[in-house]
Structure 1
Amino acid sequence: MSSAAFEALHRYTMLESPTGDRKALAALAEVLEADAGRAGLRTARETHPTGDHLIWTLPARGVPGPPILLLSHYDTVWPAGTLAGMPWSVDGDVIRGPGVYDTKAGIAALLTAVSSLTDGPGPVPPHPEVRVIVVADEEIGSPTAGDLVRSEAARSRAVLGLEPPHPGGDLKTGRRGSTRARVEVTGVEAHAALDPDAGASAIDELVDQLIRIRSLVASRPVLLNTGTIAGGGRTNVVAGQAYAELGLRFTDPDDEDAVLTALHDLRPGHPKATVSTRLLSHRPTWRPSPAGTALLEQIRSIATSIGQTVDGRPADGAADTNTTGSLGHPTVDGLAPPGGGAHARTEWVSASGLASRTALLTALLTGLTG
């Protein structure tokens, strides 16, 4: 195990960093920036009210041309205080704690890899420019990071995602599209017994709309989850407001376009009601591409040269690599250390995997020169 990566992962895990908790995120960001600076990276930030995105740069050394872009995030799904019931622990090869797998181990491995280049014995080996974006709100769909990711990817030779890999360590060469949408209904309040016809129930209208939406996706390979629903107030008052938040997953861009267009075009069934839809986050479908396949082959070759074996295939989950891969940029994800239990209290990461991924990332930073 890399003692440096292990020690870094421990420090990062002990600083809880739930999405949207600006104070907690800021505390971890300070530590990450300090470590990045010691590793030889230039640091900058893109500031947002819910948390700053961290932007790091390692200037090229002897390899001209576009940079390699690495994508990660430092927010987790775990609320502050989770450590009390889900503490950091090490049992053989298994490291546990909130966020160790998704994806603080990836950040620890990357910074250790960069340090091994810049602070190792002998001269610094040739490498292209390296750009790193560490997003603050990835776990809710990166609503504030999309433009930053797109602009950086547009000028990069390759995009490497530091999300967790498939079980067993295989990389990710495509992802389902993922959209969070909110359907909002406004009705008309009235006395539910004395004058019900004067009102228009927002809840009834919302139920009708959800049935229409389920019918819309029934014939398509689309995953639909109604995650939140709320509205109304009293049983003797016709509901004036209601909403539902939907999670949608797509495997085909055509289905994605059709469903999202239909959501925006929803019309009320009741003449006194209004219906609107807005996207809370949107990650487009990323399908495997020739550019991504070629990048995977480069990674496989570099892995072989250091005695490792990796492969790749599409994944169901979504990440910031959806954005880059869907635009046709050469993209491969899953380069964080292997483990399991993402978003579950069984979350764990492999100690030996932390070391092997650190070695692979070191090799990729100097090997992806084409």
Structure 2
Amino acid sequence: MTAGVAAGTEGTAAAGECIGTAALPGLPQALSARARTLAGAVRRRCVDLAGMESPSGDAPRLDVLAEELAAGFRATGAEVRREPGPAGDHLLLTWAGRDETLPHLLLVGHHDTVWPVGTLQDWPVQEENGLLSGPGVLDMKAGLALLEGAFALLADLGERPHRPVRLVVVADEEVGSPDGRKLVERQLPGAAAVLGLEPPHPDGRLKTARRGSTRVRLTVTGREAHAGNHASEGVSAVDELVDQLVAVRSLARLPGTELNAGRITGGTRANVVAGRAEAELGLRFATAEAQRNTLDTLAHLTALRPGARVRTEVLSSRPAWPERSGNPLLRHVRSLAAALGQKLDGAPAGGAGDTNLAGARGLPTLDGLGAVGAGPHARDEHIRVDQLAPRIALLAGLLAVPLPRLRERP
């Protein structure tokens, strides 16, 4: 292929039982061996993708990267559809399965990052002591490269996914997927399971639950006036916003709620009473109830000083995905990992992602199937090169091996 990394029966077990690789004898050994030979190409793909800056909101750069990803996945046999979005195109990719009558397997990812253009100038993609670092390499360009490698691996072995596969790659995940979530939600009906390509916990454990998250903008309107001669005629939007934020911080003491004031702007000059100010808040919630109560409180904020106005706007929101007992999908992945000679487990995660949309609906969902590493959204962001091959093999196995029954039949 010219881009990417490619080279030249529904289970009938009882609920929760993992079929593993018994249906495909010899496959674990073949997957592991071929994954080791493909790891170098996947590493190079990680370098290439991380070298293409794609901050959220930069539609031209995101669209260039989307086309690069489309070419790579198309070479693995995917049908590609670009879905226009206000901040960059999303991708919907589909692969045929050996049994097209089965419900599809849905994978979700994103190609935007939190890093502004120019970051590569003083932080180039580089490898040292087995760690590959660079902006966005962990979150989550390596996850996309790994999936390319998994499909290339199956093609090399003459295998196909067991069931139809869909992949959604959104352009606005790092800002809460305000537009991309619609594309994800349209693929949820009928999905047998949903897998996320976000990075796992630093120790490699998968993510079995996620907190809800919401971005809120507080906008305060005051009245401008000369700060020296006619200060009493003005109403400071900055002062009002500061007082509102002090009051809002008390929400962070509510059970199951966390709050981060991520951005504050306002005013024009030191000698002008500020007529406008705003803050963007990031909120995270352990439960749906905490999310409802906190957002209701924010929606009913009132001004603390005469003449000021306060407006609350929800910019994006994801529901809480609670931990569920049992989790047959995790048992299946653990069984598959063991057959591949890997030890794997799962645990809830603090961050939110597009898998929240599936997990909150009760669909069999796991996240964290991307590259193993640490430091997302930080200057020490990196992946472990020695863990690329195991993840390629695991993803290929999840595509090829039949799923057990993951939900009770009605």
Q: What TM-score results when the alignment is normalised by the length of structure 2?
A: 0.85
2:374 corresponds to: 340
From 373, 384, 400, the counterpart of 1:350: 384
Q: Deviations over 1:339-360 (max 9, x none)?
A: 1121222221111211110000
Structure 1 residues 26 and 199: alpha-carbon distance in aligned structure 2, compared to 1, 3 A threshold? same
Give the secondary-structure state (helix, strand or coil) at the position aligned to 1:322: helix
From 308, 312, 320, the counterpart of 2:342: 308
Structure 1 residues 44 and 276: alpha-carbon distance in aligned structure 2, compared to 1, 3 A threshold? same
Q: Give the Cα separation in 1 of the matches to 2:281 and 2:191.
A: 33
Letter in 1 for 2:401: G
Give the secondary-structure state (helix, strand or coil) at the position aligned to 1:329: coil
**Pair 1:26-2:63 in alignment:** yes
Structure 2 counterparts to residues 251-266 of structure 1, below 5 A: 251-266=286-301
Give the secondary-structure state (helix, strand or coil) at the position aligned to 2:302: coil
Letter in 2 for 1:369: L
**Pair 1:154-2:189 in alignment:** yes
Letter in 2 for 1:266: L
Structure 2 counterparts to residues 210-221 of structure 1, below 5 A: 210-221=245-256
RMSD: 1.8
2:244 corresponds to: 209
Give the drift of 1:97.
Answer: 2.0
Q: Give the Cα separation in 1 of the matches to 2:294 and 2:370.
A: 33
Letter in 2 for 1:309: K
1:103 corresponds to: 140
Q: Give the Cα separation in 2 of the matches to 1:110 and 1:226.
A: 35
Kept in 2, the 8 Å contact 1:181–1:246? The answer is: yes
1:120 corresponds to: 156
Structure 2 counterparts to residues 260-339 of structure 1, below 5 A: 260-290=295-325, 293-339=327-373
Deviates further, 206-215 or 252-261: 206-215
Letter in 2 for 1:82: T
Give the secondary-structure state (helix, strand or coil) at the position aligned to 2:156: coil
Structure 1: stretches of 5+ with no match in the other structure: none
Structure 1 residues 58 and 341: alpha-carbon distance in aligned structure 2, compared to 1, 3 A threshold? same
Q: What TM-score results when the alignment is normalised by the length of structure 1?
A: 0.94
Q: Give the Cα separation in 1 of the matches to 2:74 and 2:241.
A: 51
From 35, 41, 52, the counterpart of 2:72: 35
Q: Give the Cα separation in 1 of the matches to 2:246 and 2:380.
A: 35
Structure 1 residues 244 and 37: alpha-carbon distance in aligned structure 2, compared to 1, 3 A threshold? same
1:86 corresponds to: 123
Q: Deviations over 1:113-156 (max 9, x none)?
A: 11222x2234x346110000111111111111111111212221
Identical pairs, percent: 47
Q: Give the Cα separation in 2 of the matches to 1:218 and 1:297.
A: 36
Q: Give the Cα separation in 2 of the matches to 1:137 and 1:290.
A: 31
Letter in 2 for 1:232: G
2:6 corresponds to: none
Give the drift of 1:19.
Answer: 1.7
Kept in 1, the 8 Å contact 2:318–2:356? The answer is: yes
Give the secondary-structure state (helix, strand or coil) at the position aligned to 2:188: helix
Give the drift of 1:302.
Answer: 1.4
Give the secondary-structure state (helix, strand or coil) at the position aligned to 1:40: coil
**Pair 1:131-2:166 in alignment:** yes
Give the drift of 1:96.
Answer: 2.0
2:49 corresponds to: 12
How many residues get paired?
A: 367
Give the drift of 1:368.
Answer: 4.3
Letter in 2 for 1:242: A
Q: Give the Cα separation in 2 of the matches to 1:182 and 1:77.
A: 18
2:213 corresponds to: 178
Q: Give the Cα separation in 1 of the matches to 2:261 and 2:93.
A: 38
Kept in 2, the 8 Å contact 1:190–1:198? The answer is: yes
From 60, 80, 86, the counterpart of 1:49: 86
